[in-house]
Amino acid sequence: MATIKMTVNGRERSGEAEGRTLLVDFLRQELNLTGTHVGCDTSQCGACVVHVNGEAVKACTMFAAEAEGAEVVTVEGMANPDGSLSVIQQAFQDHHGLQCGFCTPGMIMSAAALLKDNPKPTEAEVRHYLEGNICRCTGYHNIVKAIMAASGQDVSAVAAE
């Protein structure tokens, strides 16, 4: 066991980790930040996406020790400072971009990373960017729509509801 320190959602945090402790387990069990989820063991579903030093990574495919000293942002750190939903979060609610909510934290983190690099993505770009985030509930329709809406684009023409 070693003590690992990192900045999580703007706060200095520390906790105990073995060499084999994954960042996601450290966040969930040591820091009690259970918004980051684990949906697979092959680094594909993306339910565990967090930002490390400003980049989206899969917290299930990185050891806690590798995040020593890093700036980590999880879904718990994504709301506005006053606690209200951020633009992306609000767009997901407005456009029904989530159902069971399990993949949602990863979707929010990936969407935020996408819009940082590409503020007005096309539908195809959004779909391609979400290659590493699996949702089983929504058929992706409203996720794609929500992300495009969050980027300020008019999605009223998108098919049906």
Length of the chain: 161
Give the one residue of 114, 115, 149, 150 binding other proteins; rule: CB under 8 A: 114
CB contact set of 60 (below 8 Å; sequence gap of 6+): 22, 23, 24, 38, 40, 41, 43, 48
Give the one residue of 93, 116, 120, 122 binding other proteins; rule: CB under 8 A: 93
Give the one residue of 72, 112, 115, 143 binding other proteins; rule: CB under 8 A: 143
Tell me if 87 contacts other proteins by CB under 8 A.
no
Of residues 43 through 62, those in contact with other proteins by CB under 8 A are 43-47, 49, 55-58, 60-62
How many residues bind other proteins, per CB under 8 A? 83
Instruction: List beta partners, residue 71.
Output: 7
Which is closer to other proteins, CB of 71 or CB of 132? 132
What is the residue type of 24? Answer: V
Give the one residue of 15, 28, 31, 72 binding other proteins; rule: CB under 8 A: 28
Sign of the CA dihedral running 105, 108, 112, 118: positive
Long-range contacts of 119-128 (CB under 8 A, 24+ apart): 119/151, 119/152, 120/151, 120/152, 120/153, 121/147, 121/148, 121/151, 123/148
Tell me if 159 contacts other proteins by CB under 8 A.
yes
- Least Cβ distance, residue 152 to other proteins (angstroms): 19
Tell me if 37 contacts other proteins by CB under 8 A.
yes
Question: In a 3-state reduction of DSSP, which class is residue 92?
Answer: helix
Tell me if 78 contacts other proteins by CB under 8 A.
yes
